Amino acid sequence: MNHELLSFDQPIPLSQVSTLVSVLPCRVAAGFPSPADDHAVQRVDLMAQLIKHPQATFLLRVRGESMKDAGIFDNDVVLVDRAITARSGHIVIAMVDGEFVCKTLWQRCGRMKLKAANVTFPDINPADGQTVEIWGVVVASIKQFKA
């Protein structure tokens, strides 16, 4: 199968990840920061900011470029909420013949397909007898830059 695969054999439950980070309560300018901003650090819980259903939210690392036009690139980590009912237009994690894929769900008139967000990748049009399960809805993508 030539689809974008996710790198973990098993999704990582969010409950196993620390979610507290330090945040400055200001906007980031493209110039120089104010020296006063150094004294205004507060702690923000990412769970409260990004996640509606902590017990049903998982982390998965994306492998491949099939979703690049949706802003999801190779090696990004996606937050996947299994408690959200997937609707047409949602970016989802699906199990296709036992393999995880990340695609945009398209549904019309009782038909479904999983659309790539890169014209060089084919959409997945489930064939008769093919097993497709919508596993969860992608609610955020995390990028890590080289430091």
Catalytic residue of the set 34, 52, 66, 143 = 66
Does pTM surpass 0.85? no
Of 42, 95, 97, 102, nearest to 70 by C-alpha is: 102
pLDDT in tens, the chain (147 residues): 444 444 455 676 766 665 554 455 555 556 665 665 555 667 767 777 788 888 888 888 899 999 999 999 998 989 999 999 999 999 999 999 889 999 999 999 989 999 999 999 999 999 888 889 999 999 999 888 877
Please confirm, yes or no, whether 103 is among the known catalytic residues. yes
Query: Which one of 103, 113, 141, 143 is the catalytic residue?
Result: 103
- The domains located in the chain, with CATH, are 16-49 (no CATH), 54-142 (2.10.109.10)
**Is 113 among the catalytic positions?**
no
Structure tokens at 135: 């596993």
